[in-house]
């Protein structure tokens, strides 16, 4: 099993980061241990939580749309925490720069 696909029993909530056009930019999940993990390797640095959430959408840039895609790590983690409580939904989208 690859590292990027955790078992369902290990995941309590996953937040999918998307651009305004709906392209998936990355995923952040909350494991059953209470730790947060970057699934897609979008943020290579180990102290990504200290850096501002500011990314690019390569697919949009390929068609000439250059957007300022910013968000908040606190909001991402809060969404993942909310998903832990929910028994019906364990994935939620977070729109960046919208």
Phi and psi based region of residue 68 (left: phi greater than 0; alpha: psi -120 to 50; beta: remaining)? beta
Using 50, 70 and 90 to split pLDDT, how confident is the model at 11?
low
Residue 63: predicted pLDDT: 93
Instruction: Please report, for the chain, the start and end positions of each structural domain, with discontinuous segments joined by +.
Output: 8-95
State in Å, rounded, how far the first CA of the chain is from the last one. Answer: 35
Which range among 19-23, 51-55, 85-89, 90-94 has the greatest average pLDDT?
Answer: 19-23
Q: Tell me the sheet residues that pair with 18.
A: 24, 95
What are the helix (H) ranges across 1-98?
Answer: 58-62, 73-85
Residue 6: predicted pLDDT: 53
Q: Cα(12)–Cα(33) distance, rounded to whole angstroms?
A: 9
Residue-wise pLDDT tens digits, 27-86:
888 877 778 888 776 666 667 777 788 888 889 999 999 988 898 888 988 888 888 776
């Amino acid at each position: 099993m690859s590292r990027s696909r955790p078992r369902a029993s290990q995941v309590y909530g996953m937040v999918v980061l998307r651009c305004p056009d709906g392209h998936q930019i990355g995923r952040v999940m909350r494991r059953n241990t209470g730790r947060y993990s970057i699934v897609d390797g979008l943020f290579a640095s180990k102290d990504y939580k200290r850096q501002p959430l500011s990314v690019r959408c390569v697919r949009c840039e390929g068609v000439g749309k250059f957007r300022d895609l910013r968000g908040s790590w606190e909001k991402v983690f809060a969404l993942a925490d909310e998903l832990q409580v929910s028994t019906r939904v364990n994935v939620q989208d977070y729109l960046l720069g919208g």
